[in-house]
Structure 1
Amino acid sequence: MDELPIGRRVAYWRGRRKMSQQVFADRLGKSKSWVDKVERGVRRLDKFSVLYEIADILQVDVQLLLGRDPERRTDALNCIDQVEVQEIRAALERYDSISAYFDAAPCPPPLDDMRKAVNHAWLTYQYARYGVLTRALPKLLRDAQAADAAYRGDQAPVAAHLLGQVYQIASSVLRKLGENELAWLAADRALAVSQRAGDPLLAGIATTRVGGALLALGRARPALELTVNIAQRLAPSTSADLRPGQLSVYGMLLLQGAMAAARLGDSATVNDLLDGADEAARLLGGDDNQYWTCFGPTNVLLHRAAAAVELGEGGRAVEADEQIVPDNFNALLPERRAHHLLDLARGFAQVGDLASAGETLLKGDRLAPSEIRCRPIAHEVMSDVLRRTRGAPPSPIAELAEHMGVGI
């Protein structure tokens, strides 16, 4: 995009922010005609004060508008920026496998090195270090794609398995950060590659990523139908099916289906799916991290709270939280705990307990700043808390809002 005139860059980022010319003009204090002329290159944009104001409204580094590489800011290390988004997009747009079909395969990284890198990426995600992960993802995607394209024979399923995991990691973090279309693309790729890996459980957990991406895009019905359909295919029917991996993947499919049903307002289906997941967790015997799921009795309770919030029943979410054993909760990895605290903050806000909602956001921020400061849903909760709080908010809340970029 460097070769584009500055007006075209403004139009591009305005479109990415889903902002009409009129809305953009209103926020800028200009006329719609002025914006249109700038974007068409009829009017020059040569005042730095205006450029910085435009960059602020579009939430991009001003250097991007100038066609230069943006300066890295130390205060933004926990969040994704548009440079990472474009690099991840470029990596997802590669088609090494079809190129290797016609030409000699590229020199791939050793599979042992890839396995270590993928495991590290999973842990980086589960520790909610999203900025670190998004900066590492483009290279990890390229390496995993090269390995999948190059390895043959017995090594081919191993390489496909690793690439399927990398696509799942990409989908998960992109959905967290509000890049839902890219999250869907990565999840869809994960599902396709997982089938080549010959691992039904990897394909099953990839299905939860597709369901999550569909849900983020407002496609709750397809998300519900997909996850329940695959859950039924993986449902334990014999003692041989009671392996921890199968129970975990099956349970996560039910939990993802419950979240989709909650978005549809179908409380009966929500309860049925949560009860099924609870039974799988009981058979599992405790919290585990098979296939990087963190599935178990505690995660089921976390999803009971999350589903209640989606149904608009914040009081039930608070009740579900009270059933969680603190030691079991504290044993979960930071992403799961901070995600739950964000859901709980939403529940408190629904019942009008704004003080508890704000305090819960603070707890989540202390545990995993990226989960609170970088997620669009967290910004919505903070905005709600600030809007409905009478008088000035407590200073810790005001400070966190400032760090998040949420106006008071």
Structure 2
Amino acid sequence: MEELPIGRRVAYWRGRRKMSQQVFADRLGKSKSWVDKVERGVRRLDKFSVIHEIADVLQLDAQLLLGKDPERRPESVTCIDQVEVEEIRAALERYDSISTFFRPTNSLPPLAEMHKATNHAWLTFQHAKYGVLARALPRLLRDAQAADAHYTGDDDDAQQAASLLGQLYQIASSTLRKLGEHDLAWLAADRSIAVSHRAGDRLLTGVATCRVGNALLALGRSRAALEVNVNIANRLAPADSRSSTPEQLSVYGLLLLQGAMAAARLGDSATVRDLVNGADDAARGLGENRNHYWTCFGPTNVQLHRAAAAVELGEGRAAVETHRVIMEDPGFSALLPERRAHHLLDIARGYAQFGELEKATEMLLEGDRLAPAEIRCRPVAHAVMSDVLRRTRGTPSAPVAELAEQMGVGV
């Protein structure tokens, strides 16, 4: 394999993964023609960011595409480094609307292509592939910013461009917040609100509000997070379940759940109960788990937030009891990896609160099997692992010690 050109290696591994050129192109957010030219050697692959994207879609080490032996460093594959953070920061600091006034943009990807790339980015986030997102977001943001600056007025193209940019700001905010870059997460979320207004989509603005609330909560501003979520939830509240749409119920319910998490951080159990019960009513109106506006909202997600709020309130035993109910719900196994691994991390925190350290590590190990980046890359997971190791008598088991090493947490 090492003597083959990189395009031929891409074709080889695509065939091994039983993907057509069209499916492979869709997952990359590229055109089938682009893939064909790469595989025939007509188009060069000279950007490491693109090579890493291809490797992630093909589920192999990038070194194999380069004809080298793979490096056994799982944390470098799944996590984000400071260089990538700075590239995202640079993309967030661009002001294309000003520069385009002086010099119009000459070339832009088609909006349909950008729409596919944005959907792929959402799925990448919901599969907890944060390293892939870190490498892809700067280019996606630059393209979307240029499109938003290029398409002006109130026509469909302008609103679609604004919607795509608003969504990418949301993806950036959620990814950065998970990885501990809270100031940048707030900036991206705030940008999303402003752009979503131009898209003329109240529900997109509502979801952007959730990202702002999450960023405020991460920055320690729990009261502000509670107020912003509840304020917009009240504005989007359906008059009755018969006249509301599934999309409206999903966004409204998500706002209530995020408000509940902020109330839990404040220690306000009564408000937590009221908001979670309101979200439960919305989920019952929805009837099943959905992913409208990428909310993953539904009855199961309400239960996940009920457990998470209990952990924030310091009620680990109550969280574990809710977890046992969730494990009997077939809807849980149908959730995407990020949601499930996030929940297992919450339950690991819950077990640790009342000294069930072995159970806490079981949750971390199970979460790592589902979505490694959710466990290995998140500061909150590092804090749980450090706490468990500090309180564990004797030597931790081999799997726990190995995971701690991969997380960069000293045993």
TM-score, L = length of structure 2 = 0.80
Show the counterpart of 2:192: 190
**C-alpha contact (below 8 Å) 1:106/1:146 kept by paired residues:** no
What do residues 293-344 of structure 1 show as CA deviations (whole Å, max 9, x unaligned)? Answer: 1000000000001000000100010011111134210000000000000000
Please state if 1:378 is matched with 2:381.
Answer: yes
Alignment of 1:4-153 (within 5 A): 75-152=75-152, 153=155
**Deviation at residue 241 of structure 1 after TM alignment:** 4.3
Return the alpha-carbon distance in structure 2 between the equivalents of residues 263 and 225 of structure 1.
13
**C-alpha contact (below 8 Å) 1:317/1:344 kept by paired residues:** yes
| DSSP-derived class of the 2:78 partner | coil
Show the counterpart of 1:264: 266
| DSSP-derived class of the 2:131 partner | helix
What do residues 75-113 of structure 1 show as CA deviations (whole Å, max 9, x unaligned)? Answer: 411000011000000000000012223432342211000
| DSSP-derived class of the 2:80 partner | coil
Return the alpha-carbon distance in structure 2 between the equivalents of residues 371 and 103 of structure 1.
42
Between stretches 396-405 and 149-158, larger displacement belongs to 149-158
Alignment size in residue pairs: 338
Alignment of 1:290-369 (within 5 A): 290-324=292-326, 325-369=328-372
**C-alpha contact (below 8 Å) 1:306/1:317 kept by paired residues:** yes
Return the alpha-carbon distance in structure 1 between the equivalents of residues 145 and 100 of structure 2.
11
Show the counterpart of 1:401: 404
Alignment of 1:235-254 (within 5 A): 235-238=237-240, 241-254=243-256
Between stretches 162-171 and 235-244, larger displacement belongs to 235-244
- Larger RCO (alpha carbons 8 Å, 6+ apart): 2
**C-alpha contact (below 8 Å) 1:285/1:296 kept by paired residues:** yes
Q: CA RMSD in A?
A: 1.4
Return the alpha-carbon distance in structure 1 between the equivalents of residues 104 and 122 of structure 2.
31
**C-alpha contact (below 8 Å) 2:75/2:407 kept by paired residues:** no
Q: Give the letter aligned to residue 366 of structure 2.
A: K
Return the alpha-carbon distance in structure 2 between the equivalents of residues 391 and 351 of structure 1.
19
**C-alpha contact (below 8 Å) 1:164/1:194 kept by paired residues:** yes
Return the alpha-carbon distance in structure 2 between the equivalents of residues 396 and 117 of structure 1.
37
Gaps of 5+ in 2: 1-70
**C-alpha contact (below 8 Å) 2:310/2:316 kept by paired residues:** yes
**Deviation at residue 151 of structure 1 after TM alignment:** 1.4
**C-alpha contact (below 8 Å) 2:80/2:130 kept by paired residues:** yes
What do residues 180-201 of structure 1 show as CA deviations (whole Å, max 9, x unaligned)? Answer: 0000000000011001000000
Q: Give the letter aligned to residue 308 of structure 1.
A: A
**C-alpha contact (below 8 Å) 2:300/2:329 kept by paired residues:** no
Q: Give the letter aligned to residue 128 of structure 1.
A: A
What do residues 154-213 of structure 1 show as CA deviations (whole Å, max 9, x unaligned)? Answer: 310000000000000000000010000000000000011001000000000000000000
TM-score, L = length of structure 1 = 0.81
Q: Give the letter aligned to residue 231 of structure 2.
A: N
Return the alpha-carbon distance in structure 1 between the equivalents of residues 163 and 235 of structure 2.
20
Return the alpha-carbon distance in structure 1 between the equivalents of residues 179 and 126 of structure 2.
14
Query: Residues 75 and 220 of structure 1: is their aligned pair in 2 closer, same or farther, counting only changes over 3 Å?
Result: closer
Return the alpha-carbon distance in structure 2 between the equivalents of residues 254 and 238 of structure 1.
16
Q: Give the letter aligned to residue 384 of structure 2.
A: V
The match for 2:289 among 287, 290, 300 is 287
What do residues 17-36 of structure 1 show as CA deviations (whole Å, max 9, x unaligned)? Answer: xxxxxxxxxxxxxxxxxxxx
